[in-house]
Amino acid sequence: MSTPATPLLKDELDIVIPTIRNLDFLEMWRPFFQSYHLIIVQDGDPTKKIHVPDGFDYELYNRDDINRILGPKANCISFKDSACRCFGYMVSKKKYIYTIDDDCFVAKDPSGNDINALEQHIRNLLCPSTPYFFNTLYDPFRDGADFVRGYPFSLREGVPTAVSHGLWLNIPDYDAPTQLVKPLERNKRYVDTVLTIPKGTLFPMCGMNLAFDRELIGPAMYFGLMGDGQPIGRYDDMWAGWCTKVICDHLGLGVKTGLPYIYHSKASNPFTNLRKEYKGIFWQEEIIPFFQSAVIPKECTTVQQCYKELATQVKDKLAKIDPYFEKLSDAMVTWIDAWDELNPAETKLANGDAK
């Protein structure tokens, strides 16, 4: 298939950045980000002043803003954890979101050229996904590729792509035990591909370099309760990924992973990470089978309906692990209520058909 020219979607995409520090990293992204609108979600002390380089168009929300805008519902937004970024998804009014961590820089492709990560994400989101059958030459919609012999013709139209999950050169996204065991490992392999994660298969979604179609899947991109006052951290994006994938599968939407790469500059502290993660390391052994076997009833045809259904199932089936999951289930419902409050005019009909 031939790749269409990539529109830049300048009026249709917001870049969401969670941060606790000055955003000097934006200098390197200036050629690629400057014409987009930024939504900065300031974590931690709201009296701290975050410096944003000149010339960027942005709005910034700190904890006081979140509390003011959401009122009592603000308790669904994490504090002292980058999970707070999902507040930015909620206040955006754009069709697409790109979210990136502030320790991620522009990577180079094997020819030494700067990678325009955002452009590749847009390309991924605008091309269909193919979740029902695996194409051995990967993304059939890339230039120079296509569906191979034996790929059913009825499936070649594909389905709308809801999520584009990008990767990381240099510091890989490892858990604390792996960081501790392999402190020197760097990801140097540029794998020149994008692929659809098949229907029924879960994946570990990382929030460092992630784009999605907010209209198609936004309300499922809740990053959970992490950080301050919670028994767990570093599972915010994982939680969003499990919920999102199950809902995409149900609604007939696609999830892609692969290109683009960003350059992840600095490993976070493995000891701190271990403290945040260790309950998750136990819990995911039960959470993942839960999501693998979760069935959403046919009657759920919007992301909101699917998400509230998942919230009910979380309470029913995961609360036995820890009371935390009851709280999380309640927060999932609060999140949807807050989303709908801030986005009243939004159509609640997902574009994909339930499969």
Task: Summarize as ranges the residues that interact with a copy of itself (CB under 8 A).
Answer: 110, 133-138, 142, 144-154, 165, 167, 172-175, 177-178, 182, 185-193, 197-206, 234-235, 237-238, 241, 257, 277, 281, 284-285, 288
Burial of 119 (0-12, 13-18, 19+ CB in 10 A): middle
CB of 186 to a copy of itself, least distance (A): 8
First to last CA, the chain: 25
Q: Return the number of the residue (51 or 182) whose C-beta is nearest a copy of itself.
A: 182
Q: Return the number of the residue (286 or 346) whose C-beta is nearest a copy of itself.
A: 286
CB of 98 to a copy of itself, least distance (A): 17
181 contact partners, CB below 8 Å, separation of at least 6:
none
20: its two tokens: 């606790």
CA distance 140 to 1: 6
CB of 285 to a copy of itself, least distance (A): 5
CB of 28 to a copy of itself, least distance (A): 24
Q: Return the number of the residue (32 or 174) whose C-beta is nearest a copy of itself.
A: 174
Residue 163 and residue 256 in contact, taking contact as beta carbons nearer than 8 Å: yes
CA separation, residue 131 to residues 6, 156, 195 (Å): 22, 10, 9
CB of 18 to a copy of itself, least distance (A): 17
266: number of CA atoms within 13 Å, CB side? 6
Q: Return the number of the residue (22 or 187) whose C-beta is nearest a copy of itself.
A: 187
243: its two tokens: 């919920």
Q: Return the number of the residue (48 or 275) whose C-beta is nearest a copy of itself.
A: 275
